[in-house]
Amino acid sequence: MYNPNASGANSTVAGNRLFVYEVEGLGQNQDAMSSPIRKSGRMTVTVPYNRMNAEMKRITRLGGKIVSIRPLNGGDGSSQAASANELQTDRASKPMTQAKPKAAKSSIPVNLYRPKNPFIGKCLSNEELVREGGTGRVRHLKFDLSGGDLRYLEGQSIGIIPPGEDDKGKPHKLRLYSIASTRHGDDNDDQTISLCVRELEYKNPDTGETVYGVCSRYLCELNAGDDVAITGPVGKEMLLPEDEHANIIMMATGTGIAPFRAFLWRMFKEQHEDYKFKGFAWLFFGIPYTANVLYKEELEELQAQFPDNFRLTYAISREQQNAEGGKMYLQHRIQENADEVWKLVQQPNTHAYICGLKGMEGGIDEGMSAAASKQDINWADYQKLLKKEHRWHVETY
């Protein structure tokens, strides 16, 4: 059940540890700090744990920027480094935890099939996801994996090698696509993998001619029974935490929904015996038209079925307007909800994911920055720590 004030695990932090801040941008204010500035223009400041937040504020006030934080006496940062949650020292009532270790490397399948020896899967189905009145073509594709060893996790990507050669006569290079199904596949039999692919279409700026992307067009045109050359899987950035009680914030534009479909299906649809989600999930989804809302019916069904655990917020750019009267983009929805998102992000069991267009990132940061600054916290510094804890995940371009 969603409770923005809910706390995480028990406190594990000893208050007498020392941390080293590496700081840049304090050249003008050297007198205000006691440490020497190094050749790089950076300096280090040693801070006792219980002064970390105050010192962070002081450095920011003096125009400095904290580049890294590490424990004074070694440690690889995974067990001892300051967690973003620990930096909430002013809010003494909040329990403090350390970051959960990442999943063991060996349990994450990577590059089981390489371009020289790809897995040849079969297309089982290819369905249009854009409805009447929407723009472009986006397909949900399902491939058969039986007979091979291709395993994958939610949040990973696979490579597709389109047949044929490029204009230099060389075989086409692979293109990456986020996996849209759970590890168990859409048929729940561990034998399939699914993708969500937009056909790239644009006008050649010189000739005005319509150009289609090589691989995306190839995929969108596949028929059931066709062979497909698959590599991978790859990617460790967008993995779902194992914690069934985690809060999961998802921000997607367009086909950036692919990994989140996999997340949501695992969290709510499958109810597989190895994972029963009990946390809170919030999807922000940016699309051009209502008819472009990919997987709309299923998403709304999940929301109706799990109203306390799943929240769905659309940004429909060509139908809705933001507060300034411009297009409603995903980042405007984040800005509208920034206080709540910020509150969630401060919980040690919250993970945030961004997938799709890079252009949304700046506006998301603006929203988060406005909310964090109400508590005198610098969002850029906080975000750095969230990334260090593997709780802020980004796959955009």
Ligand X SMILES: NC(=O)c1ccc[n+]([C@@H]2O[C@H](COP(=O)([O-])OP(=O)(O)OC[C@H]3O[C@@H](n4cnc5c(N)ncnc54)[C@H](OP(=O)(O)O)[C@@H]3O)[C@@H](O)[C@H]2O)c1
Active site residues: 177-178, 355, 395, 397
- What would the two tokens of residue 103 be? 């999943």
Order of strands, sheet of 157-161, starting from the edge strand that comes earlier in the sequence: 175-178, 157-161, 227-234, 119-128, 138-144, 192-198
Binding partner of residue 121 among ligand X, ligand FAD, none, CB cut-off 5 to 8 Å per kind: none
The answer to whether 357 contacts ligand FAD (rule: CB under 6 A) is no
The correct pick among 177, 263, 295, 329 for binding ligand FAD (CB under 6 A) is 177
Give the DSSP letter of residue 374. Answer: T
Name the minimum Å distance from CB 113 to ligand FAD. 16
| Pick from 309, 313, 311: nearest CA to 268 | 309
Binding partner of residue 357 among ligand X, ligand FAD, none, CB cut-off 5 to 8 Å per kind: ligand X
The answer to whether 157 contacts ligand FAD (rule: CB under 6 A) is yes
The correct pick among 56, 360, 377, 385 for binding ligand X (CB under 6 A) is 360
- What would the two tokens of residue 294 be? 């990919």
CB closer to ligand X out of 201 and 339:
201
The answer to whether 354 contacts ligand X (rule: CB under 6 A) is no
* Torsions phi, psi for 131 (to 5 deg): -95, 175
What count of other Cβ atoms lies within 10 Å of the Cβ of residue 87?
21
Q: Where are the alpha helices (DSSP H) in the chain?
A: 52-61, 214-220, 258-264, 296-305, 330-336, 338-345, 360-373, 379-388
- What would the two tokens of residue 25 be? 């941008």
DSSP codes of every residue in 247-299:
EEEEEEEGGGGHHHHHHHIIIIII--TT----SEEEEEEEESSGGG-TTHHHH
* Torsions phi, psi for 69 (to 5 deg): -135, 130
The correct pick among 141, 196, 334, 338 for binding ligand FAD (CB under 6 A) is 196
Binding partner of residue 175 among ligand FAD, ligand X, none, CB cut-off 5 to 8 Å per kind: ligand FAD
Binding partner of residue 396 among ligand FAD, ligand X, none, CB cut-off 5 to 8 Å per kind: ligand X
Q: Where does this chain touch ligand X (CB under 6 A) — which range of 16-24, 139-147, 250-258, 365-373?
A: 250-258
Name the minimum Å distance from CB 393 to ligand FAD. 12
- What would the two tokens of residue 218 be? 């190839």
Residues 62 and 68: beta-carbon distance below 8 Å: no
Q: How many residues bind ligand X, per CB under 6 A? A: 25
The answer to whether 288 contacts ligand X (rule: CB under 6 A) is yes
Which parts of this chain interact with ligand FAD (CB under 6 A)?
157, 175-178, 196-198, 200, 202, 213-216, 255, 258, 395, 397
Which parts of this chain interact with ligand X (CB under 6 A)?
178, 198, 253-256, 258, 286-288, 292, 317-318, 327, 329-331, 355-357, 359-360, 395-397
